[in-house]
Structure 1
Amino acid sequence: MNLSSKLTAISQYLSGEFTNQEQAIAEPAWYVHLRLWHQPVSLFTEDSFTLFAEQANILKLDQPYRQRLIRIQKHPNQTSLQVQYYMPKNPTALRGAGANPTVLKSLTTNDFELLPGCLLDVTANHLECDCYHFKATLPSDRRCCFSYAGNTVQVSIGFETTPEEFLSYDKGIDSTTGKATWGAILGPYRFRRVRS
């Protein structure tokens, strides 16, 4: 499969609405039941496929959070893919856009801030079903940080995806101790698509 076909495949695997209901029921002490949206947006279309991401606790669907932009593009070496994250300059203005994508139609690149250290390298392994397993990881020499409420927040990000499943490894990191403080501390959040 050529690189543009891989870009198409990973974009299809990531797009949609997801839930980790099975995991949350099986391990409620460790995993909050979440709804996750990955909505395609028409930004950086010259060389990328871009998604608006947002999630919410299933008990508070009217209070979504963690808005971000996920830009999937060819790596400069042209033999693999990479994923660049962006943060909205005004997250409140986009609250609820995951479930209501009409809000996203007026977005421009000026609505987002590049997060330079939040750049993942993607590997692709061919599966028997003529599909792929993609894994996006943050190299050890990069630190993914952003400003929130006047503080610098460090996160460890990464994911895996196949046609059936999306696994999120995102977690908050205490910059003093280097230990995880929230998120996928005991392993990934395991999401299944409920809507394309």
Structure 2
Amino acid sequence: MTHSTDSYTLAKWLAAEFSNQAQAIENPPLYAHIQVSIRPLPRKLLTGYCLYLEQAYAFMLKKPYRTRVIHILEHKDSILIENYELHKKELFLGGTRDPLILNKISTEHLIKKEGCDMNVEWTGHSFVGTVVPGKSCKVVRNGKTTYLDNSFEVDQNKFISIDRGRDPETDELIWGSIAGPFHFSRIKSFENELIAT
């Protein structure tokens, strides 16, 4: 059984490779086949747990369209996730398939994505994360500035995620899924690379 500040279990459940293949086969017009790989980083990088994320179309795994470092922290009576981009991110592409690459990441490579922290709550059976309120996580897509409307749910079997960009003035959906969340199944676990403290 876990609890609202169990950052180790959250990191353990996120440290995996996920695929939405079943969802993509069931409804190909609305869902591309995507893989999300999240691998633990050395504990010395920052306090708490740090994970490196790559998200890619299944037919282009060597060219992920999203890379991030996520930093999991216990915060009051819940958990906070900080999001970082990587300076010279091209040096670390493929790191989820070759962890030796990840050993080269240092704090000098981390660029904090301001306004993009996520509050994470324990539901009794899963962790649910939502981007902090305030419309301050800015994403520029096709020359238009939007704010990120993002949430996820993870348990020991699945990972559900939705990313959307909305107009800061009207909240109109500008980009992202119109059909609902992506449903990912865990196809490989990296939890053995975490060290519980």
SS at match of 2:90: helix
The count of aligned residue pairs is 188
C-alpha separation in 2, matches of 1:97 and 1:84: 20
Matches within 5 A, 1:6-155: 6-42=6-42, 47-75=47-75, 78-126=76-124, 132-145=125-138, 154-155=147-148
Q: Match for residue 157 of structure 1?
A: 150
Tell me by how many angstroms 1:181 deviates. 3.6
Identity of aligned residues (%): 29
C-alpha separation in 1, matches of 2:92 and 2:164: 22
SS at match of 2:132: coil
Say whether the 8 Å CA contact 2:115–2:132 is kept in structure 1: no
Tell me by how many angstroms 1:186 deviates. 2.1
SS at match of 1:28: coil
What amino acid is aligned across from residue 173 of structure 1 in structure 2? R
Unaligned runs of 5+ in 2: 190-197
The worse-fitting range, judged by mean Cα deviation, of 19-28 and 176-185 is 176-185
What amino acid is aligned across from residue 112 of structure 1 in structure 2? L
C-alpha separation in 2, matches of 1:111 and 1:20: 30
What amino acid is aligned across from residue 160 of structure 2 in structure 1? L
C-alpha separation in 1, matches of 2:80 and 2:111: 18
Structure 1 stretches of at least 4 aligned residues deviating more than 4 Å after TM superposition: 1-4, 43-46, 146-153, 174-177
Tell me by how many angstroms 1:111 deviates. 0.4
Tell me by how many angstroms 1:112 deviates. 1.4
Tell me by how many angstroms 1:168 deviates. 1.0
Whose RCO is larger (CA < 8 A, sep 6+)?
2
C-alpha separation in 1, matches of 2:41 and 2:143: 28
Say whether the 8 Å CA contact 1:146–1:154 is kept in structure 2: yes
Say whether the 8 Å CA contact 1:67–1:94 is kept in structure 2: no
What amino acid is aligned across from residue 187 of structure 1 in structure 2? G
Tell me by how many angstroms 1:46 deviates. 5.6
**Residue 90 to residue 149, structure 1, CA distance change in 2 (3 Å):** farther
Matching residue within 120, 145, 161 for 1:168: 161
TM-score (ref. length: structure 2): 0.84
**Residue 124 to residue 44, structure 1, CA distance change in 2 (3 Å):** farther
Cα root mean square deviation, aligned:
2.4
Tell me by how many angstroms 1:159 deviates. 0.8
Q: Match for residue 129 of structure 1?
A: none
Say whether the 8 Å CA contact 1:40–1:51 is kept in structure 2: yes
C-alpha separation in 1, matches of 2:63 and 2:135: 31
What amino acid is aligned across from residue 123 of structure 1 in structure 2? E
Tell me by how many angstroms 1:175 deviates. 4.8
Unaligned runs of 5+ in 1: 127-131
Say whether the 8 Å CA contact 1:118–1:142 is kept in structure 2: no
